[in-house]
Structure 1
Amino acid sequence: MTTIGFIGLGVMGAPMAANLLDAGFHVTGYNRSPEKARPLAEKGGRVAGSVAEAVAGADVVITMLPDSPDVEAAVLGEGGVLDSARPGTLLIDTSTIRPDVSRAVAAAAAERAVRALDAPVSGGEAGATEGTLSIMVRGEAGDFAAAASVFDAVGSTVVHVGPSGAGQTVKAANQLIVAGHLELLAEALVFLDAHGVDLPSAITVLGGGLAGSTVLARKAPGMLARRFAPGFRVDLHHKDLGIVLDAARAAGVAVPLASHVADLIASLRAQGAGSLDHSALLLQAERLSGRHNELAERTPE
């Protein structure tokens, strides 16, 4: 498998496509906003003018899109992946979407003799750039094995998690844990600051103990510097927690903390922060304690 059609060259897709080029694959990319495809062209990849053009002749097609309707349109729609892919093509959806949509895509792909893997990723923009994403894959074992070199180019932890839809279910759990970590980290920073503790020193010692986590290591520096340029937007995490709550309700599972964090993210989004990084939960934690204006004066946004 040497030729890859890559659909979706945004914050995550662009660095993933770049890593595939570095690994020796031929990559043809498509993005609805053409300017986002420019880095791929500058790195030696080919830019397509449509999904159909990106898919034509590809051995593997990868989609990295924002939400379930985007995947449905790109894969199932007229002129989409399934209309254009050759029988035997391997379709890898790395987007985070609803498990039921993932299962529908897999069923539709099977009808066209296209092999489908549901492979959502975790690690954010940094993980995509470094090629260290965690990838949770569902699909046939043989298709998973066939995609090994592709996954190795973009991830460092790649696990086959089960049947159709399982990848998206694991990703939903991942997004729940990340949201909870971010909210507790935000509250801890406000708590520490209110007591006059030196925040960088506190983060260093917390990171070395049981409270340490990838979330703390990757997100705390930006939160301390009040840098909220999006690595993963509040809008997208709001969408993902909606998936968590819907799936939990369908399974009859109580997720009270998930519901609370989902409300906090929804509130932050309603206040106009949807385009910020999800670490902007710090702003919400400050507002709840009446400390936002005070901290904003001391540390620039």
Structure 2
Amino acid sequence: MKIGVCGTGRMGTAIARRLIAVGHEVGVWNRNPAKTQPLTEAGATSFASPAELVDGCETTIVMLLNDAASESVYRGPNGILKAQLAGKLIIDMSTVRPDTMQTIGAAAAQQGAAFVESPVAGSTGPAKEGKLFAMVGGETADVARAMPILEQLCRRIEPMGALGSGSTMKLAVNLPLLVYWQALGESLTICKPLNLPADRLIDILSDTAGTPTAMKGRGAIIAKVLNGQPPGETAFGLSAARKDLATAVQFAASLHAELPVAASALACFEEAEAAGLAEADATAISTRWPQRRPAP
């Protein structure tokens, strides 16, 4: 099948590589064309605009950073909504506000597209291995049409209901993990007087009821950074994590709900981003905190 990937940041690139690996003909577009070069070298075809990408592919997977990027890529000149959408399948994997997914999905459906939201849990490693966790929203027939592709990308697929439901679930999934990374940094801070080796400290903290599954993959890397070693490849960028927390807090406000713990963690992520860690892995929030000097 000819599948387009609209947005080739870290996750979009990993998804495109997975699609190439399982035998699809892949087209790509990114606002910065240089970010598509590694994929074209791997066999993908680059397109000049989102509209041309959709026109040239049977299905298009969209993976964009935030709501503003989604609005621009869908509604801008030569955007997705300018394509010949009748009969096309759009699978949007971006993490955005549920109302954004509802409005862009409705606009695409009005032009004859089958539109499915499928934000995913998992970082670049699981994406390359086809082991993401999809939270899907959309019409039953559209979800069924998307399922064969999702099954090649995901270890688990959960249909949540109408458009917006998948995005709601994704925000709920990310929120406690991101709060945990900040809480871990605070835990490491109060452990400083113990002077334990980083490997032992992380091992102890990992073997407790409060530790998320993500520590199985990231704990050793966090210990390396605490030992002064380089962190290696970013799996989930701190800037993207900050955006996800901000989106959750904003969405809660639209429901007249408060997320005080998430809002506090968000302020810490904003501080870390301002300190130059935007492109670092989200777990940098944990290793930064013990070294941080409190504001006077």
TM-score by length of 2: 0.90
Could you tell which deviates more after superposition, 219-228 or 87-96? 219-228
Q: Which amino acid letter does the alignment assign opposite residue 243 of structure 1?
A: T
- Counterpart of 2:283 (choices 279, 296, 301) is 279
The aligned residue for residue 213 of structure 1 is 212
Does structure 2 conserve the Cα–Cα contact (< 8 Å) formed by 1:228 and 1:280?
no
Once the two structures are TM-superposed, the CA of residue 181 in structure 1 deviates from its matched residue by: 1.6
The aligned residue for residue 256 of structure 1 is 260
Once the two structures are TM-superposed, the CA of residue 49 in structure 1 deviates from its matched residue by: 2.2
| Residue aligned with 1:97, SS | coil
Q: Which amino acid letter does the alignment assign opposite residue 17 of structure 1?
A: A
Does structure 2 conserve the Cα–Cα contact (< 8 Å) formed by 1:59 and 1:89?
yes
The CA distance in 2 between the partners of 1:269 and 1:45, in whole Å, is 33
Q: What are the within-5 Å matches in structure 2 for residues 1-301 of structure 1? A: 2-226=1-225, 227=231, 229-288=233-292
The CA distance in 1 between the partners of 2:279 and 2:186, in whole Å, is 21
Structure 1: runs of 5+ lacking an equivalent:
291-301
Could you tell which deviates more after superposition, 279-288 or 28-37? 279-288
Identity across aligned pairs (percent)? 28
The CA distance in 2 between the partners of 1:209 and 1:287, in whole Å, is 24
Does structure 2 conserve the Cα–Cα contact (< 8 Å) formed by 1:57 and 1:85?
no
The aligned residue for residue 228 of structure 2 is none
The CA distance in 2 between the partners of 1:250 and 1:66, in whole Å, is 21
Does structure 2 conserve the Cα–Cα contact (< 8 Å) formed by 1:62 and 1:94?
yes
Once the two structures are TM-superposed, the CA of residue 258 in structure 1 deviates from its matched residue by: 0.8
TM-score by length of 1: 0.89
Could you tell which deviates more after superposition, 112-121 or 46-55? 46-55
The CA distance in 2 between the partners of 1:81 and 1:234, in whole Å, is 28
The CA distance in 2 between the partners of 1:162 and 1:254, in whole Å, is 24
Once the two structures are TM-superposed, the CA of residue 138 in structure 1 deviates from its matched residue by: 0.4
Q: Which amino acid letter does the alignment assign opposite residue 11 of structure 1?
A: R
The CA distance in 2 between the partners of 1:53 and 1:80, in whole Å, is 9
Once the two structures are TM-superposed, the CA of residue 190 in structure 1 deviates from its matched residue by: 3.1
The CA distance in 2 between the partners of 1:185 and 1:228, in whole Å, is 20
Once the two structures are TM-superposed, the CA of residue 188 in structure 1 deviates from its matched residue by: 2.6
| Residue aligned with 1:214, SS | coil
Q: Which amino acid letter does the alignment assign opposite residue 144 of structure 2?
A: A
Once the two structures are TM-superposed, the CA of residue 262 in structure 1 deviates from its matched residue by: 0.9
Aligned length: 289
Once the two structures are TM-superposed, the CA of residue 17 in structure 1 deviates from its matched residue by: 0.7
Once the two structures are TM-superposed, the CA of residue 208 in structure 1 deviates from its matched residue by: 4.1
Does structure 1 conserve the Cα–Cα contact (< 8 Å) formed by 2:183 and 2:286?
no
Once the two structures are TM-superposed, the CA of residue 289 in structure 1 deviates from its matched residue by: 6.7
Q: Deviations over 1:191-234 (max 9, x none)?
A: 33431223323433443442342221222222222217532222
The CA distance in 1 between the partners of 2:264 and 2:63, in whole Å, is 28
The CA distance in 2 between the partners of 1:20 and 1:208, in whole Å, is 36
Once the two structures are TM-superposed, the CA of residue 173 in structure 1 deviates from its matched residue by: 1.2
Does structure 2 conserve the Cα–Cα contact (< 8 Å) formed by 1:30 and 1:48?
yes
The CA distance in 2 between the partners of 1:44 and 1:229, in whole Å, is 23
What's the C-alpha RMSD, in Å, of the aligned pairs?
1.9
The CA distance in 2 between the partners of 1:80 and 1:6, in whole Å, is 14
Does structure 1 conserve the Cα–Cα contact (< 8 Å) formed by 2:249 and 2:258?
no
Q: Which amino acid letter does the alignment assign opposite residue 82 of structure 2?
A: D
| Residue aligned with 1:24, SS | coil
| Residue aligned with 1:12, SS | helix
Does structure 1 conserve the Cα–Cα contact (< 8 Å) formed by 2:202 and 2:219?
yes
